[in-house]
Amino acid sequence: MSDFCVKFHLSDSAYMTALRLVAGAVCSFKDIDVDTSEDFKVCVTESAIILKNCGFDQAEFVFSADKKVVCRVTGVGGSPKPSENEFSLALVSALVSNCDIEQKNGIIEQVTLIV
Amino acid sequence: MIDEREADNLFREYRRTHDVALRNRLVENYLYIAEILAKKFSGRGVEYDDLYQVASEALIAGVEKFDPDLGNRFTTYITPTVTGMIKNYFRDYSRSVRVPRRLYSVAVKVREATDEYFAEFGVKPTVKQLSEQLKLPEELIIEALECRSPVSLDAGVKTSGEEEKESPLYELISDNGSAFEKFEDKESLKAEIEKLDPTEKKVISLRFLQGKSQSEVGKILGVSQMFVSRAERKIVEKLKEALL
């Protein structure tokens, strides 16, 4: 499957449902069970909230489904600043099999989720 | 009251002429059915007047469609129709997030099929498996899975009373006591909670000791209500696994 990209303004929470549908569809493509898929969907939307907390005004979500399902969430624009996300990140890490956080000067810029 | 034979003749006449005055005469004649059925369902959180209106609309639609020459009596035909419309109204009214009725019906089937699959195989199904089992397109299953997303406890819900008002959902849910009180072996539970990591302990503390709603916990910890719900479920599953 080719990479699938979604980008939207984080201030518009209505797009979160569309994002969940995309995440669910990608999981379905890889025959991932509905429970694991739900964990993944929650983590994808939560990553968006983490980036919003960090001051980004847009987020870009790139989904791929080769050996595993991967979602790379990157913050775009806005006025990024360090933010308290310790709890959020701990739970994201607990829900997906692999989670990679990229930070620069204490600001989370990218979250990569793998199931 | 119009007798049965005369009513059948009026129905035939209405089918031929579509005369509104004739239709209204038939509706008035059978309005008592709408009244009885609306009363039967009143006192369950929806105003009687609203139910009566729904029942009356169903009655009008029924009068317009009824054909006496198909062999049914009107009362036999209209009772399940009106009852069905009232039930649909309850179904729509009681949901805090409105979803199309067809999608909601699919969501119910998906939930049942998921539970059955888990009971049989011990693992949750994939969308493809659900699609094959329910003979529905995968896209529809994916959409229906969104219908079971948790609803915020702070979400406003319309309530009926002397005057219609909106209350947060958490005010309408009775407190049946903490789920943790149901565990007989409290000492074992305490020991298992001690093994949780600090963040998980914080969720337990805020939710079950301080009695905060998922939404409030989300605000304190800077995460969404949905996320707290998911985390809570995971923690409870972990504790159950350790204790059973």
pLDDT digits (tens, 9 = 90+) for B93-116: 655 445 666 787 888 889 889 989
d(CA B149, CA B226): 8
Helix (H, G, I), strand (E, B) or coil at B19: coil
Q: Which residues of chain A are at the B interface, by a Cβ-Cβ cutoff of 8 Å?
A: 17, 20-21, 24-25, 27-28, 31-39, 42, 45-46, 49, 53, 84-88, 90-91, 94-95
* Ranges of chain B with pLDDT below 70: 44-45, 91-101, 148-187, 243-244
* Architecture of the domain whose range is A4-114: 2-Layer Sandwich (3.30)
Test B138 with A28 for CB contact under 8 angstroms. yes
Q: Is residue B3 classed as helix, strand or coil in its secondary structure?
A: coil
Same fold yes or no, B101-172 and B179-243? yes
Q: Are A42 and B214 in contact (CB under 8 A)?
A: no
> In this prediction, does ipTM exceed 0.95?
no
For the domain covering B101-172, report its CATH number: 1.10.10.10
* pLDDT 10s digits, B47-97: 788 889 889 999 999 999 999 998 888 988 898 889 888 877 776 665 544
Distance CA B226, CA B132 (A): 29
What is residue B160's predicted lDDT score, i.e. its pLDDT? 47
b/e burial code for range A69-93 (CB count within 10 A of at least 16 → b): bbbbbbbbebebeebebebbbbbbe
Of the options 3.40.50.280, 3.30.420.40, 1.10.10.10, 3.30.200.20, the CATH number for the domain spanning B179-243: 1.10.10.10
Per CATH, domain B4-93 is 3.40.50.10420: no
Smallest Cβ–Cβ distance between B124 and the set A33, A53, A86 belongs to: A33
Query: CB distance B230–A88 less than 8 Å?
Result: no
Closest by Cα among A18, A109, A91 to B226: A91
Q: Are A44 and A61 in contact (CB under 8 A)?
A: yes
Burial readout B148-180 (b: 16 or more C-beta within 10 A, e: otherwise): bebebbbeebeeeeeeeeeeebbeeeeeeeeeb
Show me where the domains of chain B are located: 4-93, 101-172, 179-243
The 10s digit of each residue's pLDDT in A10-67 is 987 778 888 999 999 999 999 999 989 988 998 898 899 889 889 999 999 999 998 8
